[in-house]
Structure 1
């Protein structure tokens, strides 16, 4: 029987082996989830809410254990794992508090007759959730919380390297009182996953991953006329405009590039710097990046842990090497230390131009790309010169001007002004272009996989 092995990327030691399920075993889990959904859908939104609150509290109660598990499986800093668990708990709290209002029936007047109409948001069934490794608890939680409130069941296929995190999340949900079959975690290969998408009891598919994975899953689901929500990669641009406060820009640029060891879809990756402040920003930014302490992710003094796997290390190294071969200049980092673990240093590349991986693609690691802009207008043009459109940022003292640029010109789903952050329960999360479609958080995720039902009364 095929197995999946999880490996600690900091020590290179094996954590656990898991048997890969057969298609029959996976389908049995799906059938069980559907049966549980048929009962769950009968509850009102108000009756579902206490289950979500209890799960959120259970996550808080087990935060230390979960953070340690995520660190062992993916190498994320232990302190970042604790923040992740609090975010997950906050998502369950937000969904429990706001879901009944957001999903409540809406009274409307029929436009042609003036008679009464009702719009009702009804559950559709089992949502198949395919999630990556970079946030092992948060990624499945943001799908799970919204769909439980909507009345759906959820089947999770997690990334193989954090299999233990996915299974432990399910155990804690059951301990919290959630019906045992309503949330399933399946350990399967990609071929089985494709066949599961086609199963008639799967009513929707959501994936977080690369744009390549999104194209594949989106195509398979489209063949079966299944709705999808795709949250894909990005190479988010952060603009350092002519009137930027350099100290603020440097602080949040370092934070934005290194958060979660540089492995965040919505992290700062391309830094587009205008001529007037170019030298000042780059000198200060490189100085801070050089001072970053790389080390054991369980050590509170570490600011940068290992990449999630040796495969991820090789990918980042190849992207940097290819960019340098095409003319990029290494201002710091770029040389991996001789040590056990998938450690890659904080790296800054300058002279980054189109045709380089550092310009065109997403580098999922602690590598910053510096791009020169003649002026503010040129910076905005360069920011949008990307096949991606997930997030971005603007450093600019004139907040109203930054707001206008963000609202009217930045071709992304999320923009940070003079700050950095990954996600907020009350703000929609998602992108455009090759960064995918659909929205999570802020109430929007609760309506992605529902039947928006129009009822016409006489």
Structure 2
């Protein structure tokens, strides 16, 4: 049984029956049958259905957003923006797929040479709770356009959102089983990966989950894409615009209550600016109003689950024990639900959880760097490598430093975000493979070479 619990109150409000192993096998069998029908559907017809799905997202913005806010605590405006983004990614691939999936001719002395992209089959998508619609649709839109089908193992606490996506796909005209939700416990994922219809696995989650599922995919020789979060550096040089970088740092730590994979986690500030940066950011964080995510006056909601809150509190306490300084917050709020006070730590160094681990919550960790060279060393002093940013008045210098930072995406004077026009993914323990852009369309395709010689 899966239970939806409102993190703003701590009260459960919905229950869903789980699928056992035989039920999961039957559902995956159905996905395999759906693949045959979907693969043979002409591209133009597939893309028409994708456009209908976009329209349904646009029509249901409010209802879908309220559901995800109740299940995982996201502020209603943020949840609504997420739903609209799902519509945009569907429209994007409906527009770009004909060009990107077209046969590619290659030069030949005789006859013809070409490369074609063909779908693989059922792709198992293991998805997290923090962006319950977007995480699925940024994988689903390109995979469906290519002719693959999806079996979604979503996080248990957002089962309602997962089933809402399945229903939207059915209403848009997808064949039964082309977008199927598996309500399975983590222990049944191995069986799903092993199912003969499953030809690939995409996972967004922790490095531990990625290591386990990636190993399963490797054991069965199935393609995998892993997006595993990070401890993203936010490098502020002494010549940066203080107001701009503080606004961006505040947004990074407060958006989705700090529960975004690519949000800045480690704020690495060059020494001449660190005092002013800390003072400015502290004032911004202190002004936030925790509360019901459906209340327009709320500016920071709860964490999604109590265990996440407890882990965040452990990271803060252990960092303080190791020498970090508490400027603001640092405690659970005395109210129902899973609320943590907006928190600011300074004097954070390697060896502390706030530096070494991914912070998933409204906690900002400031590390002082003597100069730009030390800032780059600190930025790379992590097992992760998803996103990063560099803030400076000298964009040429910023670009030069960006090239030296080990990450899948680096922004200069901007906050890195997953953008469906650009490849997205990480290096090191942040994973491998790429989503979005053309990569999202072709990662799970058979890149087939065809040679034709005249008789």
1:42 equivalent in structure 2: 40
- Contact 1:71 / 1:297 at 8 angstroms: preserved in 2? yes
**Residue 31 of structure 2 is aligned with which of 23, 30, 33?**
33
Structure 1 residue aligned with 2:394: 398
Shift of 1:353: 1.2
Question: What is the alpha-carbon distance in structure 2 between the residues aligned to residue 300 and residue 102 of structure 1?
Answer: 42
Q: 1:450 aligns with which of 438, 445, 453?
A: 445
1:109 touches 1:115 (CA, 8 Å); kept in 2? no
Give the SS at the match of 2:340: coil
Is the aligned partner of 1:256 residue 2:252?
Answer: yes
Name stretches of at least 5 consecutive residues in structure 2 with no aligned partner: none
Report what 2:420 is aligned to.
425
Task: Give secondary structure in 2 for the equivalent of 1:443.
Answer: helix
Work out whether residues 68 and 161 of structure 2, in 8 Å CA contact, stay in contact via their aligned partners in 1.
yes
Equivalent positions of 1:189-228 (< 5 A) are 189-228=185-224
Distance in structure 1 (CA, Å) of the matches to 2:421 and 2:279:
36
Q: What is the deviation of 1:417?
A: 1.9
Equivalent residue for 1:413? Answer: 408
Separation in structure 2 between the aligned mates of residue 435 and residue 181 of structure 1, nearest angstrom: 31
Of 2, 5, 15 in structure 2, the residue corresponding to residue 4 of structure 1 is 2
SS at match of 1:411: coil
Does 2:264 align with 1:275?
no
Paired residue secondary structure (1:415): strand
| Counterpart mapping for 1:54-453 below 5 A | 54-110=52-108, 113=109, 115-406=111-402, 408-453=403-448
| CA contact 2:350–2:356 (8 Å) conserved in 1 | yes
Contact 1:294 1:302 in 2 (8 A): yes
Q: Which 5+ residue runs of structure 1 have no aligned equivalent?
A: none
How far the C-alpha of 1:115 sits from its partner, in A, is 4.1
Query: In 2, Cα distance between the equivalents of 1:102 and 1:235?
Result: 33
SS at match of 1:14: strand
Deviation at 1:283, TM superposition (A): 1.1
Secondary structure at the residue paired with 1:403?
Answer: helix
TM-score (norm: length of structure 2) = 0.98
Whether contact under 8 Å (1:131, 1:139) holds in the other structure is yes
Return the TM-score normalized by structure 1.
0.97
For the residue of structure 2 that corresponds to 1:444, the secondary structure is helix
Is contact 1:107-1:116 (8 Å) kept?
yes
Q: CA RMSD in A?
A: 1.1
Contact 2:410 2:416 in 1 (8 A): no
- Contact in 2 for aligned 1:124/1:203 (Cα 8 Å): yes
Q: CA–CA distance in 2 between the matches of 1:182 and 1:29? A: 10
Measure the CA separation in 2 of the matches of 1:217 and 1:441. 21
Kept in 2, the 8 Å contact 1:256–1:421? The answer is: no
| C-alpha contact (below 8 Å) 1:344/1:366 kept by paired residues | yes
Shift of 1:403: 1.9
Q: Could you tell me how far 1:303 is from its partner in structure 2?
A: 1.1
SS at match of 2:303: coil
**CA distances 1:221-279 after superposition (whole Å, capped 9, x unpaired):** 11111110000010100010021010111111101111111000000110000011111
Q: Deviations over 1:413-446 (max 9, x none)?
A: 1112222253212111111110001111112111
- Contact kept, 8 Å, 1:95 with 1:443, in 2: the verdict is no
Deviations 1:296-316 (A, max 9, x none): 111112110000011111111
Deviation at 1:133, TM superposition (A): 0.3
